[in-house]
Structure 1
């Protein structure tokens, strides 16, 4: 196997692990706290997590050539942390399966991405995956900060790669 493919496989597993840990914390919030307006890019934990789920679905659609394009956004927001967590876990499983099937030569393949009135843009599979992971980290960090303003402590999300520091929940992804 190639080092870049191995890296992306680890990143997709880290992504699933971090999402699982974050949703475990969010599921301990009351519905009011989950929906409460907070200072951030998106005004609530609910809206931020829905955004992550939608964007993951959008990029997974592009990566797999499923052909839904922007229509993946034509669904109502999911309303609870439990329902959102289940939906995110399913997308995470699909993303792991996609990365597990990658070969080194796939990374440079171009995938079309529908950008609405701006047209169709083509990006490599590698860059699309790197962007998806960065996007998740970015918004998970925002949810982490919003959790700090609640009664639920934000979870540690970076205990994945280093063996001496690995959280027990990470083992099932490795």
Structure 2
């Protein structure tokens, strides 16, 4: 995968996260509290896994012993933390070289098992993992008759580059 497409995909991830957090922040009904809690737990799981892989990529230790935290953060606090992490990945993806992408890194999973992945595989995992679970949150929203944002790469491209919608 090229550095250019990785940069674009991480920008799309940031955009999709902002869109989803905005929808969740607009939910005010107490009837939706349980669904909102489940959505926040799912988004926190994405965040924790992103932070774990960020640490692996940076050669740092992380504080996590599981892929979610025992406590559920407030939506606003989580949104800020996710946005900061998204920016880190956008910056990382914008600077990584092909040679670095191919580098294999060894690490430990939170269950203690050893693992090894290339930087490219780690970045791809972060992208697909987040997309999968944002889809889970979208299903939660549909279940309570709240329209989820359209988390599509094509929509992202057309929003950020409107000229792509023009016929040639």
What's the TM-score, normalizing by structure 2?
A: 0.82
Whole-Å separation in 2 of the counterparts to 1:144 and 1:60:
25
Whole-Å separation in 2 of the counterparts to 1:30 and 1:79:
17
Q: CA shift at 1:116, angstroms?
A: 4.5
- Aligned residue-pair number: 159
Could you list the runs of 4 or more consecutive aligned residues of structure 1 that deviate by over 4 angstroms after TM superposition?
31-35, 71-76
Whole-Å separation in 2 of the counterparts to 1:56 and 1:151:
29
Q: Deviations over 1:56-83 (max 9, x none)?
A: 1111111111222645868553432221
1:58 and 1:72 in contact (8 A); partners too: no
Give the secondary structure class of the aligned counterpart of 1:36: helix
1:147 and 1:154 in contact (8 A); partners too: yes
What's the TM-score, normalizing by structure 1?
A: 0.79
Q: CA shift at 1:46, angstroms?
A: 1.7
- How much is the aligned-residue C-alpha RMSD, in angstroms? 2.5
Q: 1:19 to 1:116 in 2, by over 3 A?
A: closer
1:34 and 1:45 in contact (8 A); partners too: no
2:86 aligns to what?
A: 92
Ranges in structure 2 where 5+ consecutive residues have no aligned partner: 162-168
Ranges in structure 1 where 5+ consecutive residues have no aligned partner: none
Give the secondary structure class of the aligned counterpart of 1:123: strand
Whole-Å separation in 2 of the counterparts to 1:34 and 1:57:
28
2:99 aligns to what?
A: 105
1:131 equivalent among 115, 125, 130: 125
Q: Deviations over 1:61-106 (max 9, x none)?
A: 1111122264586855343222111111010001111111201111
Q: 1:67 to 1:155 in 2, by over 3 A?
A: same
